[in-house]
Amino acid sequence: MPAPAIDHHATDYSLAHAYWLARAAELAYHDEGAIEREAKSWGFGRVRHHHTRFTPPFPLEDTQAYTIAGDHMIITAFRGTEPAQIRDWLSDATTPPWPGPARTGYVHYGFGQALESVFPGVRDALAEFRDNGQTVWFTGHSLGGALAMLAGCRMHLEEPRLQADGIYTFGQPRTCDRVLADAHNRGFKKRMYRFVNNNDIVPQLPPEPAYTHVDALRYIDSSGKVRESVTLLGGVTDRLKGATADPFAPASDGIRDHSMKKYLAALEKNLA
């Protein structure tokens, strides 16, 4: 069964909407020309690219995102990074915290600096493109998921006229402390959805208790089914099942499960 066309009038949670925002998150890994061609085929006539490069000691080489706008919907998607790279710098316990949006709590330093580098461009694009009361959606995979969550929170706390109608993330790492997570949960109740694929290693970083997750988990189990809730015991059992699915490479399961292609395949399967 083919996936349904993107619904530019979507306002509520659905797996079809999650699938299309996952496709938007995956598109962030492509070059500008590919993004523009795909956006046009989806019915989005305006595109703005956000791209800032860094030099050492910043842990990432660059931060990229794009914003596409149609008559009824705007999507901003943030690009992620390689799992090995994000795992290395998220595991560094010496990384200092960065003040959260509106000085609410704190975030991981890498996320704070990465968002700061592209946030003015994202804000300006939304201010320009949101000229018809369009809904606004933030999305991203891996590092991009963290930036989507933080950008949505920052808009909510600092630029409420531009705040997102919803945020969908895929393989998002722990991003902030409990103070900011609580503020985000209050502001985005039933508007934030954090997808985690089985043993994906990145959502397990940075370590607790310094950093935590926001709510609204959507767990993709070892069979590829999206679950809206999972018990602690059920989650442990299912992750063990996923880890032993490949007896020749059990240790690599956490990296394989982080692949954006795995998220897309699971979501497409759940649409059938």
Handedness of CA 181, 229, 221, 194 (dihedral sign): negative
Cβ burial 158-194 (10 Å sphere, 16+ → b, else e)? ebeebbbbbbbbbbbbbbbbeebbbbbeebbeebbbb
**Do the domain assignments include residue 10?**
no
Q: Is residue 64 part of a domain?
A: yes
Asked if the structure places residue 3 within a domain, the reply is no
pLDDT at 97: 86
Residue 4 lies in a domain: no
Tens of pLDDT, residues 151-189: 999 999 998 888 899 999 999 999 999 999 999 999 999
**Closest among 161, 204, 195, 259 to 15, alpha carbons compared:** 195
Percent of the chain with pLDDT over 90: 65
**To the nearest whole number, what is the mean pLDDT of the chain?**
87
Between residues 199 and 254, the one the model is more confident about: 199
For the chain, the domain total comes to: 1
**Model confidence band, residue 244 (pLDDT cutoffs 50, 70, 90):** very low
Is 2 among the domain residues? no
Q: What is the CA radius of gyration of the chain?
A: 17
Calculate mean pLDDT across residues 35-58: 86
pLDDT tens-digit readout, 87-119: 666 766 567 788 999 899 999 888 888 898 899
Whether residue 7 lies inside any domain: the answer is no
Confidence of residue 249 (pLDDT cuts 50, 70, 90): very low
Rounded average pLDDT over 221-246: 67
Domain ranges, residue 37? 15-271
Q: Determine the Cα–Cα distance for residues 146 and 175; give it in Å rounded to an integer.
A: 6
Helices (H), 130-177: 143-158
Q: DSSP per residue over 41-63, as a string?
A: HTT--EEEEEEEE--TTSSSSEE
Give the mean pLDDT of 218-233: 82
Q: What is the pLDDT confidence band of residue 29, given thresholds at 50, 70 and 90?
A: very high
pLDDT value at position 62?
Answer: 73
5 lies in some domain: no
Give the CATH number for residue 258: 3.40.50.1820
Q: Residue 51, Cβ neighbours under 10 Å: how many?
A: 14
Q: Taking residues 66-86, report their average pLDDT.
A: 90
240 occurs within a structural domain:
yes
